[in-house]
Amino acid sequence: MESAQVIVAGAGPVGTVAAVCLARQGIEVILLEALPTWAKDLRASTWHPPTLEMMAELGVADRMVKHGLICPVYQYRDRRSPEVFSFDLTELSDTTEFPYRLQYEQFKFTQHLCELLADEPHASLHFSHEVIDVDQNADGVTVVAEHQDGTEFFRADYVIGAEGADSIVRRKLKIGFEGFTYPERFVTLSTTYPVERHFDGLSNVNYIADPAAWVLLLRTPDYWRVLVPAPKDASDEYLLSDEFKDHVLGDVTGTQETIASEHRVIYRIHQRVARNYRVGRVLLAGDAAHLNNPLGGFGMNSGIHDAWNLCDKLDQILNQGADISLLDLYEKQRQTVTRDFIQTQSMKNKQRMEQDDEEWLHQDREEIRRICSDDKLRRKFLLDQALFTSLADAEQITL
């Protein structure tokens, strides 16, 4: 039976970061991924400054910045109003080496980290190994994985479940995943068409409110990505049709031209937090532990912050003799900031996009106007949205 100090389930952004961190700390790690290669899905692309600082420590930030799109400014717009609220992260140049959001697709990132792991003497990466069971006793954890030739058993001191929303580790441990699923689905379309041509001063990241049809317009190195809510009761077939694509892209740009799209994907979106991030020697991180809507770009970033926090604690336990109870602090720190900031703020971001209550809108606009025009408030807003504050808050939490 192959064994290691830590087994990580899932080679997404969170699992690969955890595996590279652990291996660099001299901790023997096995990474098990169900797919035959890294997942090539079009989900996260937004990287916030503190996550880029972590990636700089791992030695991968330069490559990300070279191949990504640097976006210092993000904007809040409303289709019912000409007013544009712009937030410029260069104001944080005194705080961070990365005063911008970087747009860099998660599949390019996980590919690079999987390639790095191949050269890490302390790491072993197994593709096409789907974790199907975990079982622990006082001494360690046994993980069962299925592959084309049958099942294989692995043993470790600790296991990190980083296998995403449907985490088998979470389900096997019967950990509740409390929260809700939005009734509507979201659709993303991508296009190489110069969408910016149809707006005044459009930045690369734009939240455009409208109760009938809000839009997140996001530019990545290769495409404009357009995220919209799906009309209620629309079939998947319609949502993936040229008719819907023409409707959305025509509506966003206001042009009669036929605009080609490169990708069309439907997503279900949830707001959920696992009741426990730790059960004995088994830990949850990333989407396995929490889910939120993508408005704000918090999911992957906060998942990587989980991995960063957890790997530091595993280093203290495995390399420096700290007690295993330190893992309770991981749960307390990361679960608290997920509930207090990530969940609350992502739900507020969605509410801002779809709100039709005049009084709510009036107050919200007043608040953003006040934030924009006040140096202290604006700086706090930039630090909060970039997740600097939630990281600092987590550090203040003790057992």
Please report, as ranges, the residues that interact with ligand FAD according to CB under 6 A: 9-15, 32-35, 39, 43-46, 106, 130-131, 162-164, 168, 188, 267, 286-287, 294, 297-301, 303
The crossing angle, in degrees rounded to 10, of helices 299-320 and 13-24 is: 30
| Residue 76 vs 298, nearer CB to ligand FAD | 298
- CB of residue 82 to ligand FAD, shortest distance in Å: 27
Spatial contact of 344 and 293, defined as CB atoms under 8 Å apart: no
| Residue 85 vs 267, nearer CB to ligand FAD | 267
The alpha helices in the chain, defined as continuous H runs, are 13-24, 49-57, 61-67, 106-118, 168-172, 236-239, 242-253, 299-320, 326-337, 344-354, 358-373, 375-385, 388-396
| Residue 13 vs 99, nearer CB to ligand FAD | 13
- CB of residue 177 to ligand FAD, shortest distance in Å: 13
- CB of residue 176 to ligand FAD, shortest distance in Å: 18
| Residue 130 vs 196, nearer CB to ligand FAD | 130
Provide the token pair at 81.
Answer: 């109003």
Residue that is written with structure tokens 């954890």 in the block:
141
- CB of residue 363 to ligand FAD, shortest distance in Å: 28
Distance separating alpha carbons of residues 154 and 3, to the nearest angstrom: 6
Distance separating alpha carbons of residues 88 and 97, to the nearest angstrom: 15
| Residue 266 vs 363, nearer CB to ligand FAD | 266
Q: Which residue is nearest to ligand FAD (CB)?
A: 12
Q: What angle do CA 370, 103, 64 make, to 5 degrees?
A: 130
Q: Is 15 exposed, middle or buried (0-12, 13-18, 19+ CB in 10 A)?
A: buried
Residue that is written with structure tokens 């098990």 in the block:
32
Report phi then psi at 36, rounded to 5. -70, -10
- CB of residue 194 to ligand FAD, shortest distance in Å: 21
- CB of residue 352 to ligand FAD, shortest distance in Å: 17
| Residue 255 vs 276, nearer CB to ligand FAD | 276
Taking Cα atoms as reference points, which of 157, 117, 152 lies closest to residue 136? Answer: 157
| Residue 180 vs 197, nearer CB to ligand FAD | 180
- CB of residue 292 to ligand FAD, shortest distance in Å: 8
| Residue 279 vs 291, nearer CB to ligand FAD | 291
- CB of residue 341 to ligand FAD, shortest distance in Å: 13
Provide the token pair at 107.
Answer: 């599949």
